[in-house]
């Protein structure tokens, strides 16, 4: 998105306005989904029309993926546990956003960044992680700047329920009081 925002027409020096940026972004999202679905459509068609090739592809996939050393056991990566690794994160059970600034002498920021699995790591990372990161940052920034945010029940202590991600174990409501700032 930043590249679109900074892009200039080489002849006029003109940058895209909001409507142009929105149109380009929408086109890319539609194109990505469309390209993937059309490709899969053609693949299934041609594989169905060519059973001997389909059989070879399936055999190759089995050979690549079915050498499971765990014997059919489901394996997951516990992101919350990894995020509390004492060898990577100083005081891992303390909520300390400052550890990410790199100012601490006990913090190896590069190792922390490669160990954090909130949305990602490597080729199996969430394809929407950049959009999610931007959405979260923008939303939280706007909420914090526009409202004073307080827990409805200040004595509330949340635990976690284990799902694919850890979710709060109970409802937690907040009270938003407008700050009166216009952004």
Q: Which domain holds residue 47?
A: 1-75
For the cut 90, the answer to whether the pLDDT of residue 12 exceeds it is yes
> Is 127 contained in some domain?
no
126 is in an annotated binding site: yes
Residues in contact with 54: Cβ distance below 8 Å, sequence separation at least 6, in sequence order: 47, 48
Q: What is the average pLDDT score of the chain?
A: 76
> Is 152 contained in some domain?
no
How many angstroms separate the CA atoms of 163 and 76, rounded?
Answer: 11
> Is 20 contained in some domain?
yes
The angle subtended at Cα 28 by Cα 130 and Cα 141, nearest 5°, is 35
β-strand partners of 8: 15
For the cut 70, the answer to whether the pLDDT of residue 172 exceeds it is yes
> Is 1 contained in some domain?
yes
> Is 116 contained in some domain?
no
- Per-residue HEC secondary structure of 93-115 comes to CCCCHHHHHCCCCCCCHHHHHHH
Q: 167 burial class (0-12, 13-18, 19+ CB within 10 angstroms)?
A: exposed
CB burial readout 131-148, b (16+ within 10 A) else e:
eeeeeeeeeeeeeeebbe
Number of structural domains found in the chain: 1
> Is 47 contained in some domain?
yes
Mean pLDDT calculated for residue range 45-70: 74
> Is 44 contained in some domain?
yes
> Is 129 contained in some domain?
no
Q: Rounded to two decimals, what is the model's pTM?
A: 0.48
pLDDT, tens only, 32-51: 555 556 566 667 777 778 78
Q: Which residue has the higher pLDDT, 90 or 70?
A: 90
For the cut 70, the answer to whether the pLDDT of residue 94 exceeds it is yes
8 Å CB contact between 119 and 132: yes
């Amino acid at each position: 998105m930043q590249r679109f925002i900074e892009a200039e027409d080489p002849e006029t020096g003109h940058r895209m306005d909001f409507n142009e940026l929105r149109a380009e972004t929408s086109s890319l999202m539609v194109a990505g989904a469309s390209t993937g679905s059309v490709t899969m459509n053609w693949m299934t068609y041609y594989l169905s029309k060519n059973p001997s090739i389909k059989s070879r592809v399936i055999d190759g996939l089995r050979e690549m993926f079915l050498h499971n050393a765990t014997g059919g056991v489901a394996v997951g990566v516990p992101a919350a546990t990894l995020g509390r690794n004492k060898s990577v994160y100083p005081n891992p059970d303390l909520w300390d956003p400052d550890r990410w600034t790199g100012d601490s002498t006990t913090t190896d920021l590069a190792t922390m960044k490669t160990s954090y699995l909130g949305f990602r790591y490597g080729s199996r990372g969430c394809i929407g992680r950049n959009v999610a990161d931007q959405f979260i940052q923008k939303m939280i920034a706007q909420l914090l700047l526009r409202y004073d945010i307080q827990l409805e029940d200040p004595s509330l202590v949340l635990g976690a329920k284990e799902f694919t991600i850890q979710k709060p174990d109970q409802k937690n409501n907040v009270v938003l009081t407008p700050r009166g700032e216009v952004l």
